[in-house]
Copies of this chain bind each other. A is one copy, B any other.
Amino acid sequence: MPVTIRDVAKRLKLSITTVSRALDGYDDVAAETRERVIRVAREMGYVPSRAARQLRRQRADAIGYIIPTSKPRFADPFFSEFIAGLGDEAASRHFDLLVSTASPGEAEGQMYERWTQSKRVDGLVLSRMRLNDWRVEYLAQMGFPFVTLGRTAMPIDHPYIEVDGRAGFAALVRHLAAWEHRRIAYIGAPPDLKLQADRLAGYRAGLEAVGIAFDDALVAEGHLTRVGGYEAARLLLSLPEPPTALIGANDLTAIGAMRAARERGLIVGRDLAVAGFDGIEDAEHTQPPLTTLNQPVYELARRLVSMLLSLLDGEPLAERHILLQPELIVRESTGG
């Protein structure tokens, strides 16, 4: 039913080879022929069959991203923006983006296997890296192309972009200390995540830099969710000596913490400083607006795809490892 390259060739009284090459812009077809081919192909509404091309070229012209989430409602705006970036960059390079969700666990492994084995995708983008990440091990060992947002703690080399959570949180702690905060709490992420190791290290480094002793009791674990932040903050705020400042591992955590503060009758920005990480749009609209460390998620995503596609094309990467600094955006939630 649909127009094939054969139909076009027949109409033009050319071989399908010539048509194929003309369409792909090879330079061994006469300029005039090429133009005729292109014109007629368009007229006839010819669209190359992806499946045939893939089968022949052994390449899917698609990349994949598996959203790492545990809940059906992965309400983190971070991912929305990330996916938008991935999709836009991929589309602009005529690649498809396959998306799936899988919580870390068995099903996750199956997804990765399915996509890599069946060559449904030519490359993968990973995010929310674990310190010890079997995905990296698996893909590296398979020789399957991938890029990651963030590193692991493993010695396996691969292209990545990382946003410097350590430096960011250290700067944030110094900022809070400059406002006379001495009891600064940290609501972290699950301990197996690289970002948790980094951000916690940054928090500790910041404390040390300003001469505040690290206090175990002021560190809690959230789940990078509003609810996680809320619950952790409730505990921290009910301490005999509650903190005067609260840092969330991400903005959602901080937003949840703000709610806990309000419920205790605290005015955020006056009685309690709160800050997060990510720079999601919500953070501008909270009451009061949230101080945060901004990372350019959309751009990050585009750049990652760009790196991945270079990898696929066998082009050398200008930069294989990119470290970006998050930008401290000070808003009312930390006083002022």
Contact = CB atoms under 8 A, between A and B. Distances in A.
A81 B73 contact: yes
Most buried by B among A48, A50, A58, A72: A50
Given A2-B119, A120-B96, A69 B91 contact: no
Given A98-B98, A287-B287, A75 B282 contact: yes
A101 B74 contact: no
Given A52-B55, A97-B98, A75 B117 contact: no
A285 B262 contact: no
A99 B85 CA distance: 11
B75 A80 contact: yes
Nearest to A58: B51
A2 B88 contact: no
A130 interface: no
A81 B69 CA distance: 11
Nearest to A85: B72
A72 B81 CA distance: 7
Contact of A55 (B51, B81, B114): B51
A226 B281 contact: yes
A298 interface: yes
A131 interface: no
Given A47-B117, A84-B101, A91-B100, 12 more contacts: A2-B119, A51-B58, A54-B54, A74-B84, A75-B282, A91-B101, A96-B100, A97-B98, A226-B285, A259-B285, A262-B287, A287-B287
10 smallest beta-carbon distances between A and B, as pairs: A51-B54, A47-B117, A51-B55, A75-B281, A99-B99, A75-B77, A287-B287, A72-B298, A50-B118, A87-B101
Interface of A: 2, 45, 47-52, 54-55, 58, 60, 62, 67, 69, 72-77, 79-81, 83-85, 87-88, 90-91, 96-101, 111, 114, 117-120, 226, 230, 255-256, 258-259, 262, 280-282, 284-287, 298
27 contacts: A2-B119, A47-B117, A50-B120, A51-B51, A51-B58, A52-B55, A55-B55, A72-B81, A72-B84, A72-B85, A72-B298, A73-B81, A75-B81, A75-B280, A79-B80, A80-B80, A87-B100, A91-B100, A91-B101, A96-B98, A96-B100, A97-B99, A98-B99, A255-B285, A256-B285, A259-B285, A282-B282
